Amino acid sequence: MNPSFLQRRRLLALLPIATALLAACGQRTPKARPIAAGSTVLALGDSLTSGVGADAATAYPAVLQELTGWQMVNGGVSGDTTAQALARLPALLETHRPQLVIVGIGGNDFLRQMSAAAARDNIRAICRAATDSGAQVMLVAVPQFSLLAAGTGRLTDHPFYAELAGELNLPLYEAGWAEVLGNARLRSDQIHANAQGYRQFAEGLAQQMRKAGLLA
């Protein structure tokens, strides 16, 4: 058979795949809807959300309320794992009816060397439950915590947060906690921020929200 004929057949066979790829590249991820001042926003998390190492007035949700004008609900419980946050989420959604849920959980799973796969599944379920309630979701990446890593200041986000953000088409705030907790001047102890650290985190989060379209 003529080699040039075979080449043409291969090219024709690949044409539908190439067309689909080009179409996908041309699609843009839709921007989030802006959250109006005065809207209720839930921050779901653990001690980094509740503000351990500082106080309620300087925890990041309080600072974020100051920066945005939103009515922030601090849904942080010290020591919470992803499974515990998932279990108490329905009551929080029912009580507060938030327009936006900020999901920043997972550090205690990592510190206790619990299953990363289970943590990922729990966070996926949290995000889907929030979305099903009508809220938008902002996912916050959490470092791969260990006391050794925190002590050396070499913290990096667990990769599954970026994977989940892509899978669920969610805006993601990356490296916020890694930068704060990797800097001894911004920590109250090895795994918690101080007031200055919580403010830096909140300011970075607000900036990322503007980029995502959640904050005008």
Residue 95 lies in a domain: yes
The whole-number average pLDDT for the span 189-201 is 96
Query: In the annotation, is 121 catalytic?
Result: no
- Cα distances from 96 to residues 15, 54, 68, in angstroms, run 51, 25, 18
Number of domains composing the chain: 1
The whole-number average pLDDT for the span 3-25 is 43
**Considering 50, 157, 158, 192, which one is annotated as catalytic?**
192
**Considering 47, 50, 157, 158, which one is annotated as catalytic?**
47
Task: Give the model's pLDDT for residue 28.
Answer: 42
Residue 93 lies in a domain: yes
| Strand 40-45 versus strand 136-140 pairing type | unpaired
Residue 151 lies in a domain: yes
Residue 14 lies in a domain: no
Residue 141 lies in a domain: yes
Per-residue pLDDT tens over the stretch 57-82? 999 999 999 999 999 999 999 999 99
Q: Which of 6-15, 22-31, 49-58, 112-121 has the lowest mean pLDDT?
A: 22-31
Range of the domain at 50: 35-212
Please check the confidence at residue 30 and state whether its pLDDT lies above 50. no
Q: Of 182, 171, 87, nearest to 129 (Cα)? A: 87
> Which CATH number covers residue 165?
3.40.50.1110
Q: Which of 40-49, 125-134, 145-154 has the lowest mean pLDDT?
A: 145-154
- One-letter amino acid at 36 equals A
Residue 181 lies in a domain: yes
Per-residue pLDDT tens over the stretch 33-62? 999 999 999 999 999 999 999 998 999 999
Residue 18 lies in a domain: no
Query: In the annotation, is 157 catalytic?
Result: no
Residue 63 lies in a domain: yes
